Structure 1
Amino acid sequence: MTPGLTDNLEEVSDVWKTAIINRELYKLQLDIVALQETRLLDSGSLQTPAGPVTLISAYTPTMASTPEAKDQFYDELDTAINTIPQAEQVFIMGDFNARVGADHDSWPDSLGHFGVGRMNENGQRLLELCNYHNVCITNTHFNTKPQHTVSWRHPCSKHWHQLDLMLTRRSNLSSVKLTRTYHSADCDIDHSLVCSKVKLSTRKINRSKSEGRTHIDTTKTRDPNKVRDFVQALEEAFAGQASGDACERWVSYRDTVYTTAMTTFGRKCNKMADWFEAHSDDMLPVIEEKRHALAAYKNNPSREYLETLQTTRSTVEQTARQCANNFWTQLCSHIQSAADTGNIRGMFDGIIQPLGPPKKKTAPLKTSTGEIIQDWEKQMDQWVEHYSELYAKENKVSEEALNAVEMLPVMEELDSEPTREELDESLKARAAVKAPGKDGIPAEVLKCGGEQSDELHKIICMCWRERELFHRTGVMPTSSLSIITKATGVTVTTITAYLC
């Protein structure tokens, strides 16, 4: 059983709701979402081609809150805005529990011409903050349909209000193309979804290197049938290709091995499906049925359509619990099977599938006095100061120390051509589960042996005899051939380093 998922409908957790909300957001193609009442603290920063952008998700105390709580919230929001440089873009979004009204003449810098209703006490607090920081409310700057300007209906008066707002600086208002409400989003909440379409101005980025090849799925190299098919396909591909110099034969070898491996083993898939995606065939039909029931109830709010909506919601809850339990049961079985067979890699992959990849911990940059630096320009200045002091020290090596270094004898046997046995030992010693080189051929593919090892040995021998070849062309040093070594005893010399 999945933690939090029980057979009692009254104790259903919010896991299935999260999946449904995620599906709605995916349908609307939203990139960034600010969730409310989730108890997630602090704000976030985003690095874009247009520069750093700060995103703040805010939830304002309601009208029933004490004045002290409201003052504390707006003081914290004021402090957060003050810490953001003026040149940096900022977007503040969330449920402000405030009606800002439509008085554009009184608040020309903060309100647009398309506000809704009248201003209340919370709205006045918010407008005063916006006016002080030159921040405008984007919801009031777009002439949309009346139903697209409101997001919440009062349970008693049944009047619609505009409480969920999107704020940005006046200078960044041109980047916001539209802010409107989507009542069709079925998220089982009393607030409707408010979306803003933002287009940031980009700048050209000069990439230092070109993108590499698509990675091969190396997990299938453990399948004997796949390996046999791969070796047979290589034997057919290498027939009649033993011509040309070493450079031409290496390029032909590289492309043939990569294409054959990609055809046999397939492409590596980095995305790990969650329980909703794994059982989308079961979940999507019942969700679509609930969507139609909700639309029918909104068009004709009668008792009959309400019962139909409640029935479809119950079906979605039961299906979600069953799919989640099946997913976790299968995942636990996979992890246990990998542990029993000694497959540590498979066990680790199964564990990180629900938890996600390990988080990379970062430490804040501090000055020499211990103060945390948040401004990007000051951080760069601190790094310049650090490396200037680091490389300012000049190290001198005395002649006596150089003469004291023991000279190793010259090993003439290293000049002989590498044998096939040395090639097999070098390939066998290479670590698996490592990123491939520029050629895109991982170590697991090279270890499959067969005709490719014979062709690889011939190419290496040609490179050994033509020592200046790859020094001129620069083909080999960034390829997988850089791992082939010439070994005698404890001395190991990389072939490519010798050639270059």
Structure 2
Amino acid sequence: MGLQRTEHHDAAALKPIGRFDGSPSAGPTPSRLPIRRVVADTPKERVALLTTKTSIGIGTWNVRTLYQPGNLEILLNQMKNFKWEILGIAETHWTDSGELTMEGYKILCAGNDTIHRAGVALILNKQAQNALLGYNPISARIMSARFQTKTGAITIIQVYAPNTADTENSVDEFYDQLQHEINKTPKKDILMVMGDLNAKVGDNNSEWANVMGNYGYGNINARGEKLLTFCATNNLCLTNTMFKQNKASRQWTWESPDQRTHNKIDFIMISSKWKGCITNSRSFPSADVGSDHQLVLANIQLKFKTKPKPKYPKRYDVFKLKTQATRERYEVEIGGSFAPLLDDEDTDINDSWEAIKTAFSNTSKKILGNKKAQKPKPWISEEVISLSEERSKVKQEKLIDPSKKTRYNYLTREIKRKTKGCKDIWLKDLCRNVENAHQAAKSKEVYSTIKKITNKPTTKMQTVKNKEGKILTELQDVKNRWRENYEQLYNNQNPINEEIVNSIPQMPSTEEEPDILKDEITSAIKSYLMAKHLDMTT
């Protein structure tokens, strides 16, 4: 079943799910929604769960059971001590699948239809609820949910893998079902898979560097190799092996009843493409609901790779070599740098090239320096700008003192005269640059300068007129005019005048078809009989 949406239904007419089945031992029934494999609430405005500005917490926890009365309340109370938005639960031991609400949290769950075994769930806070696009309870061991992000969507799959008491066939069926669900995930989505995988991946990542980090735990087993192979196939990485922790209790996720054996079998995985968004991922031993597993939380925040700015090579100011003194100084300096290179005859050719390149670079940097980027100078002089500013002041003064009008008119004439003179000087300088560039065979500079002189700025009027020639300013009127134009252009039936068509003279065909020869018929019959004979023999 795919991800869907629906509207509210009357919850009172439907049966609750899981341990809230109305039995006396189940305790009070929380406020709930009907058993639906869909999203019941559709917020007026979808809120992005994952952004570049804030970090969110996504975690997983095998709580052993939520079927016993009070366990869900204890879990929610424990989680108040942590910052999280989505919490995946393994081994809920609830029956049926659906959703319910409790203390403001939305709980999406998938369980068995009859027995209180396995079961997975996702608990969402308000922010995650407003970003929820849909969810799909696949089986008692797998469920998925999809959330809105700033760039698209994130798909989170909560799982509970078969443990050591289950057969290998059940493990293979689990991974096949999980693979099928991953294949249905949109390729552009951020993919996260988390839960109790019941697999030990060890602490050696020499052969699995793309899948796990440097901070695994314990020794690897056969199911751990299966998990690593699965991650490599789907480009997933184990986030809680990527970060160094100061305490071992922040590494392992399961503890034996005698408290002597510890393993890391609960994982949060993310697409390798997005692993840079994980800022931390570890176990939290302080959280307790009476389970032998520890809470695992990952902090995630959207991060994008910044496009590196192209590094252009610095150019040396070679125009300084036109000066005789600079040129002589450069020759002396470069000659001194080459002297040791000429004496050494046994140097490798690559080393010699590096030495020559370094000598030229160091000498050019010392004598010539880097060429500075020159901003285009405005052709209007500072004197004209100063006169323009003075004229602005005189304009205000002449409102009070009419005698200032004479000064205002004088400044206007001077600005016009000097502006024309500045334009002439600017054009002469450009023409001089064209001549110099032409003599130096710099064709690019020649054409760019000529274009600067000859090009006149033109203003493009982008207007749409109706049939009467009136300019349309309203957007809807413009759209209607375009539609009207294309309908007239392409929907014209172009009626055909039959009289004109019939009056066109028909030229008779003068080419005669040749007769079929007897030899051609004989050859065709022989070929047919030979082919039929071959088919019968084979």
Q: TM-score, normalised by structure 2?
A: 0.35
Which protein has greater RCO, CA pairs closer than 8 Å, 6+ apart? 1
Hey, which of these two has a bigger chunk of strand by percent? 2
Q: TM-score, normalised by structure 1?
A: 0.38
Larger radius of gyration: 2
Hey, which of these two has a bigger chunk of helix by percent? 1
